[in-house]
Amino acid sequence: MGITNSSAKEDFILVGFSDQPHLEKILFVVVLVSYLLTLVGNTFIILVSSIDPKLKTPMYFFLSHLSLVDICFTTSVVPQLLWNLRGPAKTITLLGCVVQLYVALAMGSAECVLLVVMAFDRYAAVCKPLHYATVMNPRVCRVLTGIVWLCGIGNCLIQSTVTLQLPRCGQRRIYNFFCEVPSMIKLACVDIHANEVQVFVASLVLLILPLLLILMSYGLIVRAVVRIKSAQAWHKVLGTCGSHLSVVFIFYGTALVIYGQPNSSFAHTHGKFISLFYTVVTPTLNPLIYTLRNKDVKGALGRLFHRDKGS
C-alpha cells in the first residue's frame, strides 16, 4: 500500500481539456479518427516508398523518414490523450511523462531539421538538375538523415533532462494534455528565467534558423525559375515543392507560437489547442498533402493495386 501511495504521489495530472468537459467527447472522436488516419497514411507512404522502384529517390527517402517521425511523435502523445479524454482520470505516471517528454521532443526536433534537408533536396533538384544524382547520392542521403536523428536526440537529451531536474515542490498539475517542456517548466518552484532563455535559444536554433534556411532555399529556387521564364517550369516547381511548403508552414506556424514565446499569455491560454494541432492534426495532414498533390505517389498506388489484381 505504501508503494502504491508513493507512486501515486509522483503521478502528474494532465489538466488538458477538463475545464471544457463538453468538448471532451467530440475531441475523443476527432483525435481517434486523426490518429488512425495518421497511422494508415504514414505507414502507406513508408511501404510504397520502399516497395515501388520508381520512388527510390532522395525525395521519397526523406519523406519516408518524415512519416516515421510523425508516427512516433503522435504515438507518444495520442494514446494517453485518448485515455484521459474518455473518463474522469487525467493522470500520467512519472515514467509515462518522462518517456512522453523525451520522445515527443526528439521527434519534433528531428522534424525541424528534416524539413530543412527536404528543402535542400528540392533546391538541388530544381537548381542543379544535371548534378542532382551526384549531389544527393545515397551516401549523402544517409549522412543527412543521420544528422537529423542526432539533432533530435541531442536536443531532447539536453532540454528534457534539464527540465526534469527542476524542483517541483509537489506540484503535479500540468496545464496541457501531454508532457512538454514549456508546460513542465511552469511546475518549478524556483526561478525559471534561465530555463525560458534555454527554450528560446533552442527555438532559435531549431525553429527560426531552419525556417530561414528553408526560405533561402526557396528564394534560390524562385530566382532560378524566374530566369527560365517558362510557365511549364513554374508548374513543375509547384508540383515538386508545393507539398513540402504546405507542410513547412503548418508545422513551423504552430510550433513557433508554443516554443517561440513559452511564457506569453497567449501560449499559456490557447497553447493546448495549438499543441493539439501540431501533435494530432499536422501528422494527419502530411500524408494527405503529399498523396493528394503528388502524381508519383498516385501512380505508385495505382501500380500497387494493379499488381495485387494481377496476382
pLDDT at site 182: 84
- Residue 305: which H helix or E strand, with range? helix 295-310
pLDDT at site 80: 93
Instruction: Say how far apart CA 286 and CA 112 lie, in whole Å.
Output: 14
| Spatial contact of 105 and 159, defined as CB atoms under 8 Å apart | yes
User: For the chain, what is the mean pLDDT?
Assistant: 83
- Mean pLDDT across the stretch 169-182? 87
User: Is the pLDDT score of 248 beyond 90?
Assistant: no
Q: Count other Cβ atoms within 10 Å, centred on residue 280.
A: 23
pLDDT at site 1: 39
Instruction: Say how far apart CA 303 and CA 297 lie, in whole Å.
Output: 10
- Lookup: cell for 259: 516554443
Instruction: Say how far apart CA 17 and CA 19 lie, in whole Å.
Output: 5
- DSSP per position, 93-129: -HHHHHHHHHHHHHHHHHHHHHHHHHHHHHHHHHH-G
Q: What is Dmax (Cα atoms) for the chain? A: 76
Cβ neighbors of 123 (< 8 A, separation 6 or more) are 217, 218, 220, 221
User: Is the pLDDT score of 38 beyond 70?
Assistant: yes
- The end-to-end CA distance of the chain, in Å, is 60
User: Is the pLDDT score of 21 beyond 50?
Assistant: yes
User: Is the pLDDT score of 311 beyond 60?
Assistant: no
Give the pLDDT band (50/70/90) at residue 78: very high
* pTM of the predicted structure, to 2 decimals: 0.86
pLDDT at site 266: 46
User: Is the pLDDT score of 4 beyond 60?
Assistant: no
Q: What stretches of the chain adopt beta strand conformation (E)?
A: 12-14, 91-92, 173-174
- Mean pLDDT across the stretch 157-178? 89
Number of H helices, E strands in the chain: 13, 3
- Residue 151: which H helix or E strand, with range? helix 138-164
The cell 538523415 sits on which residue? Answer: 145
Domains of the chain (ranges; CATH) run: 11-302 (1.20.1070.10)
